[in-house]
Amino acid sequence: MAKVLLIDDDVELVEMLKEYLEQDGFEVAAVHNGADGLAQAVGGEFAIAVLDVMMPRMQGMETLRQLRTRSQLPVLMLTAKGDDADRILGLELGADDYVSKPCTPRELSARIRAILRRTQQLGSGDSNQFVVGRLAMWPEQRRVQWDGNAVALTSTEFNLLEVLVRHAGHTVSKQDLSEKALFRPLARFDRNVDVHMSSLRHKLGTLADGRSCIQTVHRQGYVLVKD
């Protein structure tokens, strides 16, 4: 039974979501401000956190920023409907995905399950080491190194990188990346893949010629370059 942490100051909404998620097979704990949410999230007992952007004491973005300095716990952000700026900033800070409020409990549950699948399925049963130039990956252990140094990735970043590693030297379309790493079709104007790729480029080292090891192929997708 996966344990979910809800961090949202809307008490009535949280109670509704908590009741549904528990009926859907999750164990759920809830807090109503960012500071308490951060303290709970870094404890290591939760499989995922659902984090609202607008909260007292500590805003959701600051909570996420501080969390990412201490933990790679998967995070699903709750954002205002149509607020693209919050969505993009949340992804850039390390959120795994987002849901627009108001959302249905069923949609939230489905997104949570999708993120948990992403953290478990791609590397399941595969203990092989993949080496592409200076990059090394152990899918089953969900571990990545660049030049022998550990690289901390979010669950979504790891899964996107794994898809590229398994197709190193070949272009992978954004549609395929979304389906294989995010477990959903690519929606129109969806920038999730692009934002996560930008983050990956900053976390990984460069090739001998100074280029990023992840290259954009215009109108086609992305390719992990074999150095």
pLDDT in tens, 59-118: 999 999 999 999 989 999 998 876 788 888 999 999 999 998 888 999 999 999 989 987
- Residue 179 DSSP one-character state: I
**Is the CB of residue 41 less than 8 Å from the CB of residue 5?**
yes
Range of the domain at 101: 3-120
Q: Is residue 101 part of a domain?
A: yes
Shared domain check, 165 and 92: no
Digit-coded pLDDT (tens) for 28-66: 999 999 999 999 999 989 999 999 998 877 899 999 999
Task: Note whether 113 and 200 are same-domain residues.
Answer: no
Does one domain contain both 107 and 148? no
Is residue 125 in a domain?
no
Residues 82 and 177 in one domain: no
Which CA distances in Å does 166 have to 2, 79, 137?
A: 28, 33, 10
